[in-house]
Amino acid sequence: MSRNPEKNAQVRESRKKQILDATLSVYIRSGYHGTDMDIVAKEAGLAKGLVYYYYKTKQDLFTELFIQMFKYGYIFSEALINNLNGLNPVEQLMAYAYGMFMENRENPRMMQFFIRAPFDAYAIFTAENRKEVADKSDMNRSALTGIIQKGIAEGFIPESNPSMAANSFWSVFVANVFVYSRLIDGTQKSAKSSKESFNEVVCFCFQGLGIERDVWNACLEKVLADRK
């Protein structure tokens, strides 16, 4: 008996989700140029022809993957920003970084994706929409720039170039999360508590902004207390 249109749509969305999930896993391991449709099909447990039924080319497949991941990242970043009311700029930086840290513990593939994405977007998207894609892939650094700019204006953060300071903060944060999480193999083995691990990850981020340890440490205690 043939399926009705609603059931067909459900099957289609389920298959696409299965393919995109497999593509994300392969992409994290191998990057765009190291991924081909054979590997994606094997990862998804599907025939290669079925993958090609839904995505005619590798570029089509990755375009949809990137768009979905950018949307997911944007929604997550916006949710963090919207939860910063009532905090001073240093506390906002701490809360934003803590939110990203905890999300990485639950969903390490998001951080793995956003580490790779800026280097591969040029090969996936056309010149016409590349700037828009670059802006979307830069959402976290852009959010940090706004917080740091406010912190400088209000005297919480020493004078500096907000954009370059945010770039430094984000780069150090990602590098330290990479080491902490063992993002290459995804094991995230650690005998330390979340607080101890997070403290180590962000220590140099805040020092790089010229913020004293006792100041950002007090902000950490407040953020942790607010999120219990």
Residue 136 pLDDT grade (very low, low, confident, very high; cuts 50, 70, 90): low
pLDDT number for residue 110: 87
> Cα–Cα distance between 61 and 82 in angstroms, integer?
32
139 with 160, same domain: the answer is: yes
Q: Are residues 116 and 52 in the same domain?
A: no
Q: Answer whether 216's CB lies under 8 Å from 201's CB.
A: no
Number of domains in the chain: 2
Are residues 123 and 208 part of one domain? yes
Do 66 and 49 belong to one domain? no
Cα–Cα distance measured from residue 28 to residue 25, given in angstroms and rounded to the nearest whole number: 5
Q: Is 45 left (phi over 0), alpha (psi -120 to 50) or beta?
A: left
Q: What DSSP state is assigned to residue 47?
A: -
Q: Is the pLDDT of residue 65 over 90?
A: yes
CATH of the domain at 34: 1.10.10.60
Q: Does 62 share its domain with 156?
A: yes
- 64 CB neighbour count, 10 Å cutoff: 16
Confidence category of residue 195, pLDDT binned at 50, 70, 90:
confident
Greater pLDDT, 228 or 140: 140
* 43, 149: one domain: no
For the cut 60, the answer to whether the pLDDT of residue 168 exceeds it is yes
Same domain, 176 and 221: yes
117 and 36 part of one domain: no
Same domain as 146, residue 40: no
- Give the tens place of pLDDT for each residue, 216-225: 999 999 888 8
Are 11 and 62 members of one domain? no
Q: What is the pLDDT of residues 45-56, one digit of tens each?
A: 999 999 999 999
Q: Of 25, 41, 56, which one is at a domain's C-terminal end?
A: 56
**CATH number, domain with residue 160:** 1.10.357.10
148: Cα within 13 Å, side-chain hemisphere: 26
Q: What confidence score (pLDDT) does residue 178 get? A: 81
The mean-pLDDT minimum among 71-75, 122-126, 150-154, 220-224 falls in: 122-126
For residues 75 and 44, state if they share a domain.
Answer: no
Q: Which domain holds residue 10?
A: 1-56
Residues 121 and 17 both lie in one domain: no
